[in-house]
Amino acid sequence: MEERSVGRYDRYILSQLVVLFGFFSLVLISVYWINEAVDLFDSLVADGQTLRVFLEFTALTLPQIMMMVLPVAGLVATLYIFNRLIGESELVVLQTAGLSAARLLRPVLIFGLLLGLLVGVLGNFLAPVARGQFIDRSADVQADLTGRFLREGQFIHPTAGLSVYVREITEQGEFRDLFLQDRVDPATETTYTAPRALLLEASSGPQLVMFDGLAQTYDVTTQRLTTVLFTSFTYDLGALIADQASARTELRALSTRVLIGADAELAAAMGLSLAQMRFVGHDRIARALFVIFPPLIAAACLMLGGFSRFGVWPQILLAVVLIIPLQMVWNAAEASAIRNVDLQLLAYVQPLLAAGLAGGLTLLAMARKRKRRDRAPARPQAGAA
C-alpha cells in the first residue's frame, strides 16, 4: 500500500478521534460542571455573593473536572470510531491491503500521546494553580461577612452554627431589630437580640457591635437558661473566620515538585502525611502516562473479532472490562503507598500494566490476522480442471 495512502489514513483516523473526543468531552464536562455549579450556587449566590463570583468559582473547578472526564472521553471516542470502521468494512479493506494491526493502531497511539500530554499539563500545572486560587478565593468570601449580613428581612446563615435576622438596614448601615443565634459550640446555645447593631472592621476581623440588647444562653448539659441585659456587646466574627481558615492546605493545591520533594519536616508543618504527599506527586505523572493506553486497549480489542451477527459488542465489553482491573490496581497501590513512604513508586504500576496489556492485545490481533489469512482457501488456478 502506498505511503501516501497510509498517511491519509493516519490523518483521517486522528482527525476523527480528535473531533469525537472534543464532542464527548464537551458533553461529559457539561454534565459534571452543571452538577458542580448547582452546589456552588447554593453555597455562594444563595449566601449573598454575586453572579460574577459564582462564575469565577465554577471556572476554577473546570481543570479538575477535565482531568476526570477526558480519559473517559478518549476511550469512548476510540470505541465509537473503530466500531464505525468495522461496521462499514473500512477496517477490513485496510487489513486486506496489507496493513498490520500495529500499523493500524499508529494514529491511536498518537492520539493517546496527545491525550497524555493534555492530562499531564492539567494535572501538574493548571489544576493545582486553579485549586490554590479556589482556596484563596474561598477564604476571601468567608472573610467577606459584610455582604452576607447586608440582607434585611431574611434569615441567613453566614457560617456553620450561626443564624442571623435583620429586620431593616438603614442607609447609614445600621442594623435595626437584630436577631443572632450562636450554636457553634454544641454544649451551649446563645441567642442575642438588639434593637440596634453595627458591623465594624477591626484589625482582628469584622466585629458586630450590638446596643441595648439581651443575651440568652442555654446550657445543653444542665438545661439552664441564663439571661443577661447589656448596654453594648461586641461579637467577634473574626474568630469564626480564623477557625474556618485553619486547615486550608490541600494536596490538590500543591505543585508536583513540592509533593515529590517533600520531607518529614514540610509534611508536619502542613499537617499532611508525607507518604500521601509523595504518592500524589508521582500519581500525577503516572496518570498522564496511563491515559495513553486505554484508547490503544479499546482499538486493539475491537480488532480481535471477526464477522458476527452481534457486531462488535463482545469486543467493546471486553475493552471496558479490561479497564476495571487497572483501576483496582490503582486503588490497591494507593492504599499501600499512603501507609508506607517507601512504596511511592507503586503509582507507576498502573501505567506499566496498561502498556503491557495494550502491547499484548496488539500482538494477539496481529496473530489472529495471520491465522485467518493462513486458513483462507487458495484461489483456483486458471485453466484448472
In the prediction, which pLDDT does 135 show? Answer: 86
Query: DSSP letter at 37?
Result: H
Strand partners, 219: 188, 224
Q: How far apart are CA 303 and CA 248, in angstroms?
A: 49
In the prediction, which pLDDT does 384 show? Answer: 44
Q: What is the mean pLDDT of residues 221-250?
A: 75
In the prediction, which pLDDT does 383 show? Answer: 46
Cα angle 249-333-24, degrees, rounded to a multiple of 5: 75
Q: Which one of 137-141, 202-206, 247-251 scores highest in mean pLDDT?
A: 137-141
CA–CA distances in Å: residue 15 to residues 2, 22, 65, 108, 237 = 20, 11, 24, 11, 57
Q: Which amino acid is at 94?
A: L
Q: What is the mean pLDDT of residues 364-370?
A: 78
**Closest-CA residue to 166 (of 143, 184, 145):** 145
359 has pLDDT over 70: yes
132 has pLDDT over 60: yes
CA–CA distances in Å: residue 19 to residues 23, 105, 129 = 6, 18, 28
Tens digits of per-residue pLDDT, 63-95?
999 999 999 999 999 999 999 888 887 887 777
151 has pLDDT over 90: no
146 has pLDDT over 60: no
Grid cell of 311 as nine digits: 457486531
**Number of neighbours of residue 276 by Cβ within 10 angstroms:** 20
- 155 versus 145: the higher-pLDDT residue is 155
53 has pLDDT over 90: no
- 263 versus 162: the higher-pLDDT residue is 263
Q: How far apart are CA 232 and CA 211, in angstroms?
A: 4
The three-class DSSP label of residue 89 is: coil
Q: How far apart are CA 282 and CA 224, in angstroms?
A: 56
- Average per-residue pLDDT in the chain? 84
Q: Do 256 and 124 meet the contact criterion of CB atoms below 8 Å apart?
A: yes
283 has pLDDT over 90: yes
Q: Do 197 and 212 meet the contact criterion of CB atoms below 8 Å apart?
A: no
The three-class DSSP label of residue 213 is: strand
Q: What is the mean pLDDT of residues 259-275?
A: 90
In the prediction, which pLDDT does 308 show? Answer: 55
Query: DSSP letter at 379?
Result: P
Q: Which one of 189-203, 231-245, 273-287, 310-324 scores highest in mean pLDDT?
A: 273-287
Strand partners, 200: 207
Q: Do 253 and 131 meet the contact criterion of CB atoms below 8 Å apart?
A: yes
Sign of CA dihedral 110, 111, 112, 115: positive
Strand partners, 182: 162, 190
DSSP letter for each residue of 122-153: IIIIIHHHHHHHHHHHHHHHHH-HHHHH--TT
Q: How far apart are CA 245 and CA 137, in angstroms?
A: 12
Q: How far apart are CA 58 and CA 66, in angstroms?
A: 12
- pLDDT band of residue 278 (cuts 50, 70, 90) is very high
In the prediction, which pLDDT does 247 show? Answer: 44
List helix spans (H) across the chain: 3-43, 51-87, 90-96, 101-104, 106-121, 127-143, 145-149, 238-244, 256-260, 264-270, 274-290, 293-302, 313-337, 349-375
Q: Which residues contact 307 (CB under 8 A, 6 or more apart)?
A: none
Q: What is the mean pLDDT of residues 328-344?
A: 92
Tens digits of per-residue pLDDT, 103-121?
889 999 999 999 999 999 9
In the prediction, which pLDDT does 113 show? Answer: 97
Tens digits of per-residue pLDDT, 8-47?
888 989 999 999 999 999 999 999 988 888 877 776 765 5
Percent of the chain at pLDDT > 70 equals 84
- 240 versus 292: the higher-pLDDT residue is 292
277 has pLDDT over 80: yes
Q: Which amino acid is at 190?
A: T
Q: What is the mean pLDDT of residues 258-265?
A: 92
In the prediction, which pLDDT does 192 show? Answer: 94
- 55 versus 124: the higher-pLDDT residue is 124
Q: What is the mean pLDDT of residues 288-297?
A: 96
